[in-house]
Chain A
Amino acid sequence: MDPLIEYHVQRTRRQFFGDVGLRLGGLALGGLMAGGAGRTLLGADAAAASSAGRVHPAIPGLPHFAPKAKSIIYLHMNGAPSQIDLWDHKPGLRAYFDKDLPESIRNNQRLSTMTSGQSRFPVAPSKFDFRQHGRCGTWVSDVLPHTAKIVDEIALVRSVYTNAINHDPACTFVMTGSEIPGKASIGSWLSYGLGSESNDLPAFVVFTPSFPSSGNGQALFSRMWGSGFLPTRYTGVALRGAGDPVLYLQNPPGVGVTDRRDMLEALNELNRKQHGVYGDPEIQTRISQYEMAFRMQTSVPELTDLSKESAATLEMYGADVKRTGSFTHAAILARRLVERGVRVVQLLHRGWDQHDNLPTALKNQCLDTDQAVAALVMDLKQRGLLDSTLVVWGGEFGRTVYSQGRLAPDNYGRDHHPRNFCMWMAGGGVKGGTVYGQTDDFSYNVVENPVHVNDLNATILQCMGIDHRRFTFKNTGLDQKLTGVEEAHVVKELLA
């Protein structure tokens, strides 16, 4: 980071903590002592914080222009969901069942070595029926009955493409703009640039929920929410499905909240004394971070407490909503996080790598996520939050039209396909009901309006009030950008 910016940020933060932060800690304690744990902290203090100063301020100059979305919820379907079976409707393919993919379509393009040895490439039409939905009439597969109900909110891109053909590099690419580990993830870029509205919760929160046992669970990598070359404090904080929701949130056994408060009072006093001797501002920061930690011990359990959610809301999300660690649970928490001013929430759902048994496994993947995804968007809308929240859905690449391995009308598999896949965006800044980009009859090549992963990321930044070309961080001599070295373009057609 530029040292002066760093200095400026730290000074702002320190002033805030010097004047306001400790008082906030006091307030927190007051709330607890009065028996009003939780609620007051988030309501009153969050408001106080936004007027008085922020723990996670934006860097100077950001946002570049008025943002359409203040927060983002990024739903990453890890493993690469099949575009042909979900979004890219190709009714003509039925006639091509088990016929060889025309050579003119495949055009000697690179194949993954999992199928490059196949003697033939038989076309596998989707087993699923598609129907038009909403006022916009977007075609959606029957396997996504709930998402189908929100298509008027969605801008669907059918022509996303990427550089990588395997999971590890492709996941790294879609999240960091580079196939090689070491770059900053999109979430850490946003939390670095924009900070957070919340003083009690991290700016960037990540979920890695459970997934169906039929799913082919590809790996996740912490670099997908890592800070890369950005300072490590911008790394996404995992809200965990088992154990403490935030690491080490709970006091040790036998240590109660008053024990902890009592100890912190003594600790603060001794640290303030140390500051009196050495004058090192880092000591003040440390005091304030211990207070923030203490507040998180209340704010996080309050966050995960669904007892005040209405029955209608819970029902909308589905049966799994209270099962900690499920995608549905993570989805409702995502809304609660955004409500509390968290800048970036990322859900990374695994199991979408259907090399075989695609129809059954894909259906299970959708059963695990479809209702919750739709509920999340509707819930945000009902609360007036959708206008200021960008929701993104997608995977790391697409899947081949031809079958990998055995082909039957009701059973087939699909290999990796980087040349086109589908992603969608909804909410803040997005023109709902849009369908953008066109692929050929085999969903094998983009024929109209290609959108590179970097273009999509540029568009996401645009919604968040950031000009991707100007959003840089100096590292190893380069002005690093999320969108990389090659030119990237905001896809204006997706924006309201």
Chain B
Amino acid sequence: MQFPPLNPYRAALAAVLGLGMVSGASAATGSVQFNRDVRPILSDQCFACHGFDAKHRKAGLRLDVAESAYAPNKEGRIAVKPGDLAGSELWKRIITQDPDDVMPPPDSHKTISAEQRSVLKRWIEEGAKYQRHWAFEAPTRGPLPAVAMPNPVDRFIADRLQREGLKLSPEADRRTLARRVSLDLIGLAPTPAEVELFVNDPAPDAYERMVDRLLASPQYGERMARPWLDLARYADTHGLHLDNERQMWAYRDWVVRAFNRNLPFDRFTVEQLAGDLIPNGTQDQWVATGFNRCNVTTSEGGSIDAEFVFRYAVERAATTAQAWMGLTAGCAVCHDHKFDPISTKEFYSLYAFFHSAADPAMDGNVLLTPPVLKLPSEEESARLKALDTELRNLETVMLAQARVTPYRDPADLVPRPPVQELDTLWVDDDVPAGWKSGTSTGGSTRWVTTEEGGPVRRGRRAIRREDSGLVQDVFEGGTPLEVPAGARLYAHVRLDPAKLPSAIMLQFRTDDWKHRILWGDVDAIDWGAKGTTQRAHGGPLPAAGEWVRLEFDAAKVGLKPGDKITGLAYTQQGGRVMWDEAGVKGQMDPANDPTRSFAAWWKQQQGQDVAMLPADLRKVLKEVPGTNQTPAQVAALRDHFIARVCVDTRESFAASLAGVEAVRKRRNELEGQIPSTFVWKDLDKPRDSFVMTRGAYDKPGEKVTRGVPAVLPPLRTEGLPTRMDLANWLVGDEHPLTARVTVNRFWQQFFGVGLVASSEDFGSQGEPPSHPELLDWLSVEFREGGWDVKALVRLLVTSATYRQSSVVTPELLARDPANRLLARAPRFRLDAEQLRDNALTVAGLAVLQMGGKGVKTYQPPNIWEPVGFVGSNTRDYRQDTGASLYRRSIYTFFKRTAPPPFMTTFDAPNREGLCARRERSNTPLQALQLLNDVQYFEAARGLAQRMLREGGADLTARVRFGYQVVLGRPPAADELTVITQSLERARARYRTDEAAAQKAIGFGDSKPDPTLDAAELAAYTLTANLLLNLDETVTRN
């Protein structure tokens, strides 16, 4: 948005021409300034071909720098000849009528207006002075304007108004002010008592003390976090494809706490961008690194990893540049930036800081995509510690007993014990003892005798199944079946030649159902990767009409000696099939049996991650070669073997082992309840980064190293630049952008529009500041004052500019419709979150509990479902109950592909990418929502109950009370009349329709006060509904 017209004639002209106005000051008076007046025209009209982007530059001419613009080309023509209009090719080319020569060329669909031409004319005549783009020059704190006002903000604003022949409006009345500052600082309207306290406070610093009280409120952090979370694109789902849930609400809570404890903005920056690199960083600092894990991620089948690794790094670099520097660096992904001095190479140098992130390309559709950090509370940590101690104690006792248990390793015996042949039947006539059976279709396994179904192979019955599709008989549960050494698994099958299946399959479960072998068409059952142990091929379909033995090495399906089978399934694709007599053949060589020989077991477990062991031994076994393990470690392993593994000894440890496992189970359950959060970590070995040609993930060009754009101050670093260097650079003294961009966003928050209206773009296509000196003064003040956010906020909201009345005359409105001069306070609609939080608060329903997992509040049916992927875990919306319905909106569960309507209807972004500035629309859908949404109507009933119970004895007093609660002021006489009449009509109507009254007060999960008369309450509810819909209620005035 650009600065409004100051001169009505020019406004009319500009409106006709569809032009923006010159910013800062009128170019019609005083001399032309390059940055303020000329650069916007050149940037918009010329830079695409005559700017920074070398590749698309035409005729070798740059108009963004004097050296090129002043230089003669090979024909001797000069684009811009200072002071010589006729000698300036630029001027000739923009005024010519010749379509071959005119600039911008017709096919660019750009035209230079008469007004813009006159600015360029005067600029050349006045000497065509260039300036660097203002935002790349370090801000300086100039002298305060000579206006007799204590607050520096006011001096700048009033000075400018004076020059425009305007002045600040008088201070708003105290009630308006109390409501304004409370909504702005804590997002909630003040209670009547708080308003009265301020209204009746005679102290000269009454207002300042109110501000300090609000700044100290815990709700302040919740209010301030909201805009930052829009920037950080925080949400509770991954965002792409399945859009499953992710867990990183701890980051959201960190932001709230950071504002509450007034974490200086430089620390706020460093911890979010490089908290993982802080030596001995705290848990909190790690949580902060979630900022750049908030981006959308995918796990869509078929995606190419390299493409997404690339995309995430681009997104993170671009988001960081935009959030801290207001630079649209993402434009330089495919080509040099057209308008700002950022080359693709510089972009990829920035990207290189983020390119070595340790998170995977595919998020796995899981709640916790690594790297993540567990976040036990103090109490949980203590309980974990206690359980660990208990576990260790029990194990110590058990292992001490093992140490004294007599055991001879059969491998040490001379002569060695003989090898025994085994043949163990698993399924014959019945499932293994203690197991259960059933079919994949939910039915029961059908056992048939020879008479019932045909010849049984062995025993008295076999299993028979007929189906047109894929079906399984599944056996599971009970004691696991152990795979012996040299195991060959077998089963017998009889296919009906009249109805052949296309394939049959045996499937085994260990920790998962991942061991499969098929006979027949290997594509017929599409589970597991072909040619692996997850889909082995046993051969063609066996001969039909007879019993055939299927026998194969256990290794073929990835089973090894010692594995424990916990499930078994007979599977067929169509056909009529009988199954019988399944089991395992193998050998038991005690000297080589890992369940009997310690040496065999020890050898087998090398390099394995053995979960049953305590952490230290687990690490030893996994990481230390056997030959390097100490005798003490080997002895400890032997103790575990005797107590837990060895079939000859373990029985005597059954009781103590059960005790150990019970404690371990409790410990693991506790650990499972402890939340985690996404954090940032780099790969151990950084990735090489390249300029990616035209932004294609698979076209690496020139190799780049980490670095920052040359137009900005140099990066200070020792060795390979780190993200810590980058973070420190952003908040360094000489950085021209970070403080400006940050101060400007806070200004936007409190004044509706930033001093730079395009708060997301400080480049040459952005808006120049309306009050450049003020912006610079504030930026330096902020930085030199230690990046103290609360101090800055206090400075802004205690200014007379902030405190003035918002009343506007038609003349002033026409003069400054967008209120950029601030001759009045802005009025604007509350944010989505504020609207809901306020309604809940005045209703007495709000639950101000802070932090934690996102809650699922009221949402109409069919918001998630019609868009959700069938397999998504955020497809079915299950609304919470009780207190969760009334938490502050910042804690609402946010699904990116279908965000909560109470947010999106009121312009909340969908959090798929950074949002520095929300729209403030005014639509009929908003009206419908505030009128009819159960959240708002239930709140109206809550308010009605308060009016009836707390408001006094008569109707007038109760309406007054309602006004006080909602607006912080009593109603005027005419307002009282309107409301009272409306209320009386509603009351008369509900008196005659008890059923309607009951329905009206029954809307919502909370129960209406049964002591109140239904008709009365219904009438007041409708009145409260009216109060909550007043323009004044939904507006921060």
Interface pair A220/B867, CB less than 8 Å apart: yes
- Rounded to whole angstroms, the CA-CA distance of A235 and B899 in the bound complex is 13
- Residues of A within 8 Å of B521, CB to CB, are 406
B275 within 8 A of A: no
Q: Is the CB of B1025 within 8 A of A263?
A: yes
Residues in A neighbouring B334, C-beta threshold 8 A: 485
Given contacts A3-B1, A252-B932, A278-B808, contact A237 B925 (CB under 8 A): yes
Contact B761 A247 (CB under 8 A): no
B1011-1037 residues at the A interface, CB under 8 angstroms: 1018, 1022, 1025-1026, 1029-1032, 1034-1035, 1037
Stretch of A188-196, A279-287, A311-319, A367-375 lying at the B interface? A279-287
Question: CA of A255 to CA of B905 in the docked complex: distance in angstroms?
Answer: 23
Known: A2-B20, A292-B927. Contact between A182 and B912, CB under 8 A? yes
- Pick the contact of A4: B15, B311, B766 (CB < 8 A): B15
Contact with B along A237-250 (1 / 0, CB 8 A): 11011111011111
Which residues of A (3-60) have their CB < 8 Å from a CB of B? 3-8, 60
- B300 and A4 form a contact (CB under 8 A): no
| A117 CB to nearest B CB, Å | 8
Q: How large is the interface on B (under 10, 10 to 19, 20 to 34, 35 or more residues)?
A: 35 or more
For B1030, what are the chain A residues with a Cβ–Cβ distance below 8 Å? 267, 270-271, 274
Chain B's nearest CB lies how many Å from the CB of A129? 26
- Contacting B at CB under 8 A, from A201-257, are 202, 208, 216-223, 226, 231-233, 235, 237-238, 240-244, 246-256
Residues of chain A lying within 8 A (CB to CB) of residue B922: 282, 285-286, 289
User: Is B934 located at the chain interface by the 8 A CB criterion?
Assistant: yes
Quick one: closest B residue to A1, CB to CB? B1
Q: Interface with A: B623-631, B723-731, B996-1004, which one?
A: B996-1004
> Which of B493-501, B508-516, B883-891, B982-990 binds A?
B982-990
B298 lies within 8 A of A208 (CB): no
A271 CB → nearest B CB, Å? 5
Q: List, in ascending order, chain A residues with CB within 8 A of B981's CB.
A: 266
Instruction: Tell me which of A83-91, A143-151, A161-169, A336-344 binds B.
Output: A161-169
Task: Say whether B807 contacts A278, CB under 8 Å.
Answer: yes
With contacts A114-B301, A219-B872 taken as known, whether A477 is within 8 angstroms of B328 at the C-beta atoms is yes
B1000/A252 in contact, CB under 8 A: yes
Docked CA distance A137–B327 (Å): 55
CB closest residue in chain A, given B696: A163
Q: How far apart are the CA atoms of A113 and B1026 in the complex, in Å? A: 57
Nearest-neighbor residue (CB-CB) of B1 within chain A: A3
Q: What 0/1 pattern do residues 330 to 369 of B give for CB contact below 8 A with A? A: 0100100011100000000000000000000000000000
The B-contacting residues of A in range 102-126, CB under 8 angstroms, are 110, 112-114, 117
Known contacts A219-B897, A293-B927: does B810 contact A279 (CB below 8 Å)?
yes
Give Cα A112–Cα B986 distance, bound, in whole angstroms.
Answer: 63
Q: Which residues of B contact A112 (CB under 8 A)?
A: 301-303
Q: Is the CB of A266 within 8 A of B931?
A: no
> What is the CA–CA distance of A112 and B933 in the complex, to the nearest angstrom?
44
Contact of A281 with B813 in the complex, beta carbons under 8 Å:
yes
What chain A residues lie within 8 Å of B861 (beta carbons)? 242-243
Closest to B981 in A: A266
- The verdict on A269 contacting chain B, using a C-beta distance below 8 Å, is yes
CB distance from B337 to the nearest CB of A (A): 9
Give chain A residues whose Cβ lies under 8 Å from the Cβ of B921.
231-233
| Chain B proximity of A437: nearest CB distance (Å) | 25
In the complex, what residue of chain A is closest to B523 when comparing beta carbons?
Answer: A406
Q: How far is the CB of B144 from chain A (nearest CB, A)?
A: 30
Interchain nearest-CB distance for B764 vs A (Å): 7
Q: How far is the CA of A3 from the CA of B22 in the complex (A)?
A: 12
Write out the residue numbers on chain A whose beta carbons fall within 8 Å of the beta carbon of B95: none
Q: Which B-chain residue is minimally distant from A208 (CB atoms)?
A: B866
| Cβ-defined contact, B926 with A289, below 8 A | yes
A262–B808 CB distance below 8 A:
no
Tell me which of A181, A217, A254 contacts B1018 (CB under 8 A). Answer: A254
Which residues does chain A contribute within 8 Å of B912, judged by CB atoms?
A: 181-182, 223
Which of A216, A219, A406 has most B Cβ within 10 Å?
A219
Q: Which residues of A contact B933 (CB under 8 A)?
A: 248
- For B1001, the chain A residues whose CB sits under 8 A away are 254
Complexed CA–CA distance, A3 and B924 (Å): 22
A416 part of interface (Cβ distance < 8 Å): yes
Q: Which B residues, 739 to 796, have Cβ-Cβ distances below 8 Å to chain A?
A: 758, 760-761, 763-766
Rounded to whole angstroms, the CA-CA distance of A465 and B157 in the bound complex is 45
Assuming the A-B contacts A3-B818, A274-B1030, are A279 and B813 also in contact, with contact meaning beta carbons closer than 8 angstroms in the complex? yes
**B18 and A2 form a contact (CB under 8 A):** yes
Given A61-B18, A280-B806, A293-B931: A256 touches B1031 (CB 8 Å cut-off): no
CB distance from A434 to the nearest CB of B (A): 28
For B337, give the chain A residue with the smallest CB separation: A477
A254 and B1029 contact, CB distance less than 8 A:
no
* B818 pairs with A181, CB closer than 8 A: no
**Distance, CA A194 to CA B21, complexed state (A):** 25
> Which listed residue (A247, A269, A279) contacts B905, Cβ 8 A?
A247
Chain A residues lying within 8 Å of B905, measured Cβ to Cβ, are: 247
Task: Name the distance in Å between B520's Cβ and chain A's nearest Cβ.
Answer: 12
A-B contact pairs, 16 of them (CB 8 A): A165-B302, A166-B300, A222-B897, A226-B910, A231-B919, A243-B860, A246-B928, A248-B928, A260-B931, A274-B1030, A275-B1031, A278-B827, A293-B931, A356-B526, A416-B302, A470-B109
